[in-house]
Structure 1
């Protein structure tokens, strides 16, 4: 049998949120940091993200991670995060999935009852503590990159919803935060579709009216993914 491409993956999840991890089959990804490797992959190998996350191999809820050698000598491993519309610099659920795969497949040695390791993400170094028992990872905690707020109690205009008060904060990616009660919306499962529509409208409006970038790395911008992607998603809902 001759294959034009074979990529090996391990399926994992963090409290039910799926996170696929690519463990082999990737060509060399150049870059002097994991952030630079992420940029190269986004510009030159985005077909991998589409291959892994779109049907028939992917689903809308799926994320995928590419294991890469770390560039920082303090790190044990590095990884690039791929989501449906972007390459986020950091993700908690994906960190948990990557840690689990690294240890349970033997890529990194597991020490019971606790294994500590450092992972290099595009956002920086993440210090991880994994509780392990009988060869399985049972719990993962981590110290994220430093968090901070760039906007607090800032008013934006949201099409179809009017004025809204929001915060924009960094915690590995830029988040738009708003109290649901200002829209008269209860956060219940029955309101799921309305919550999604409102969330995408908030992110689109914030991206247009409150663009942000990381003070230590201006190439990290936000909030989250681009206005055009959000608008396209919102129109489909």
Structure 2
């Protein structure tokens, strides 16, 4: 009986590697992507969002994934110093930077033999929309055991801003950049302490 699938060429195939960083999941897309065009990583991000977003939703959401994971697309870098270009795919789209995703991807490409492995440290450099990300993967007895990440420069963009949050009124915050923009808020404004008991409220 010939059980060879007859629909093989009707579908796109992607090779992925599932990894995690201390429990934070990352699905790394190794192959199957079309050419992601752009002369900068921001242009590649925009191209992916406009032409390849079906790949994100197919590999990220159920039944193949879930809302709490991350996908990382390996693409051609735009700088000679970079080993790979990376696009970080989340539930809402493509983000500029993800620390746990970068660490998981660096260790994964080293363990998968996709680059030269040197002991005690293998250096991996990523081109990301946020900028160049440098990671040292620490090797012991031929195996990756930990990694150190040097992110893009972090800076305070605006301080003393405010917004209205439903149920809490006017909230003061500072706008910071550390690969992506984020708001730093004093938890006292929400009447809570930062501890494990309030994890669901946070």
Question: Which runs of no fewer than 5 residues in structure 1 stay unpaired?
Answer: 196-237
1:163 is the counterpart of 2:170:
yes
Conservation of the 8 A alpha-carbon contact between 1:81 and 1:87: yes
Residues in 2 aligned to 1:176 and 1:86: alpha-carbon distance in whole angstroms: 19
Question: Which runs of no fewer than 5 residues in structure 2 stay unpaired?
Answer: none
- Point out the structure with max Rg over C-alpha: 2
Q: CA deviation at 1:181?
A: 1.6
Equivalent residue number for residue 185 of structure 2: 178
Q: Deviations over 1:118-148 (max 9, x none)?
A: 2111111112111012332211112111111
3-state secondary structure, aligned to 1:87: strand
Equivalent residue number for residue 122 of structure 1: 129
TM-score (norm 2): 0.91
Say which structure is richer in helix: 1
Residues in 2 aligned to 1:6 and 1:99: alpha-carbon distance in whole angstroms: 23
Residues in 1 aligned to 2:59 and 2:85: alpha-carbon distance in whole angstroms: 19
TM-score (norm 1): 0.78
Aligned length: 195
Equivalent residue number for residue 227 of structure 1: none
Q: Deviations over 1:148-200 (max 9, x none)?
A: 111223232222211211111000000111111222112334433321xxxxx
Residues in 1 aligned to 2:30 and 2:160: alpha-carbon distance in whole angstroms: 43
CA-atom RMSD in angstroms: 1.4
Conservation of the 8 A alpha-carbon contact between 1:89 and 1:122: yes
3-state secondary structure, aligned to 1:193: coil
Conservation of the 8 A alpha-carbon contact between 1:35 and 1:122: yes
Equivalent residue number for residue 41 of structure 1: 48
Conservation of the 8 A alpha-carbon contact between 1:104 and 1:135: no
**Runs of at least 4 residues off by over 3 Å:** none
3-state secondary structure, aligned to 2:95: coil
Equivalent residue number for residue 137 of structure 1: 144
Q: Which moved more, 1:161-170 or 1:145-154?
A: 145-154
